[in-house]
Structures are given as C-alpha cells and as structure tokens.
Amino acid sequence: MRSVEIPTPEGPLHALRFGPAQPGDGKVVLAAHGITASAMSFVAVARALPADWTLIAVDLRGRGRSSALPGPFGMDRHAEDLAAVAKHFPQPMVLTGQSMGAYAALRAAARFPSLFVHLVLIDGGLPLPVPAGADPAAVLAATVGPAVARLRMTFPSEAAYVDFFRSHPALAASWNDDLAAYVRYDVAGEPGSIRSRVNPDAVAADGRDLLAGAAAFGADLRSLRLPAHLLYAPRGMLGQEPGMLPQPLVDQWTRQSPLTARLVADCNHYTILTDPVAADQVARALVDTCEWPRPDCAACPTGRTPA
C-alpha cells in the first residue's frame, strides 16, 4: 500500500495504491468509497485481486487524507476528481464505487467514458426515489443525519473510537483487522478529543445531491456507453433486510439501462467490501469480464461460460 497525491487546483487529492509498483497496462481499478468512508474501504478487495493488478482507491474530497480539500462538493465534483486521477495514470482503467462512490463513479463514466473500460457499481448508483410529498430536509435528516451526528462526536481515545464501530449492528458479527485499520485511518484529534476526520459539510452537501439528483442519475445510467455492472447486497446499513437497493429497484434499472446486476449473497451494505468471501466476489467481477454474460458470449473465442 502506497500513498499517492494527485494535483488539483485546490491542493492534492490523496489516494492509496495497492499492488505492483508499476501499474500493469489495462490491469488497474480506480475505486471510490461511501459518503463517510475512505480509501481504506477497499483493502480486502485489493488483497483479493490477482497479483499483477493495481487498485487505486481515492480519498474523496472531504474525507480521509483529502479531508482538507474545499467544496463545492457533490457528484459532479467527485466525478471530476476521479477523472483527474485517471488522467494522472494514463491507461485503461476499470472504474468502481461503493454506496455514494457508486454515484460518483457513474457520473464519471457517463461524462468521461474514454478514460475507462468498464464500470462496476457496488450497492449504489441507482436513483433513490423520494416518496411523493416527502420533505427533502426530513428525508436528508433521516438518511445522513445519523452519520453527520457521529462526525461531530468526540471520544476519549482511539481505542474507544474503534470500540464504537465494533458495536455497529452491521459490523459486529464480521469484525476483522481490516475494519479496525479502516477506523484508525479515520482518526483525527488528540487523546481526550478523538473524532472522525471526515468533513461534516461535505457529507451534508453530498447527501442533498444524492436525494435531489435522482433524475440526473437515471439519465446517466441510460446514457452509458461502456459495459456497466451492479453488485448489490441483500442487507442494508444496519445489517437488516431488505438491502439499500431492493430487488424491484434493481429490476427497474436493468430494464431501463445497459446495466447488468448480480446479488452478492450473505453480506450487507458494508461487508460487501470488507468480508473476505464477498470481497473475493467483488474482485473477480472487477477483473474478469467473463463474469458478466453478454449477448455475444456464444461467439467468444475463449469458449468460457459466464458465471
């Protein structure tokens, strides 16, 4: 794992690079994380990739080691940052994103298709319908409000912050060393006043964009000009069923767009990346296009049968 800094007009955007010292041509994955997460979300996936593949996981603006980068935030800005990373490593890339990162990756794929060879959305990227007549401010408070509240909390020690995450209902049963490292990477402040390094203003702005942008995300999906796939979890943010992307929503968008989709069994919104079994499935989907059947598969010279 190596730190990388990508120049932007406002300062460096930070990323973590996993894999060979020199990325192999056409064997690079560019990854974007969730709304309060960081590049460390992708450690287990990076480990599961073949040895000659590189994964570049970005600390999105306002998070991780990019937390000091200013706004404006929103999916347009994150997409521009992803394009800047891709141009910094000028070669074909697989683009992926999880949760909010899936929406940023979708926007980047729609606007900068020449930079990427295919797109894999992970438990995100589909327009989330807001109930008719619902107050957008109330919906925002119900969805990202708890996350913003956590970002304003302080803890007496790093160990206490780790223990707070360890008790999370979606993580407790699958806790491992990767999750502990993920939490420690997020630590800021001094003993007695430990907190998350995530910028709460970035989370609030991005949450508003996710709710307000349903029509734009739908247009992005319909306009995709590169192969696009979705991996989704059966359980949600609290480890409960249904998941963030219920089956009817998945079915709707696989009918209305070029997207193909697959359920990753026995995981939730977070453990789809951090559980070793689920992470292995994600890694295979990123690097092996034969994982995804297409109409022309019968003529494929490999003779392989898609999963």
Annotate 4-69 with DSSP letters as a single string. Answer: EEE--TTSPEEEEEES-SSPPTT-EEEEE--TT--GGGGHHHHHHS-TT-EEEEE--TTSGGGTT-
Helices (runs of H) and strands (runs of E) counted in the chain: 12, 10
- Interhelix angle for 100-111 vs 214-223, to 10°? 50
pTM of the complete model beyond 0.85: yes
Q: What is the pLDDT of residue 303?
A: 39
* SS3 category, 263: strand
Q: What is the pLDDT of residue 307?
A: 37
Q: Count the Cβ atoms, other than its own, within 10 Å of residue 147.
A: 18
Q: What pLDDT tens digit does each residue of the chain (307 aa) get?
A: 999 999 999 999 999 999 986 766 669 999 999 999 999 999 999 999 999 999 999 999 999 999 999 999 999 999 999 999 999 988 889 999 999 999 999 999 999 999 999 999 999 999 987 777 777 678 777 777 777 788 999 999 999 999 999 999 999 999 999 999 999 999 999 999 999 999 999 999 999 999 888 999 999 999 999 999 999 999 998 889 999 999 999 999 999 999 999 999 999 999 999 999 999 999 999 998 655 455 444 444 333 444 3
pLDDT tens by residue, 5-19: 999 999 999 999 999
Domain with residues 2-128+200-299, CATH architecture: 3-Layer(aba) Sandwich (3.40)
pLDDT tens by residue, 274-299: 999 999 999 999 998 655 455 444 44
pLDDT tens by residue, 101-118: 999 999 999 999 999 999
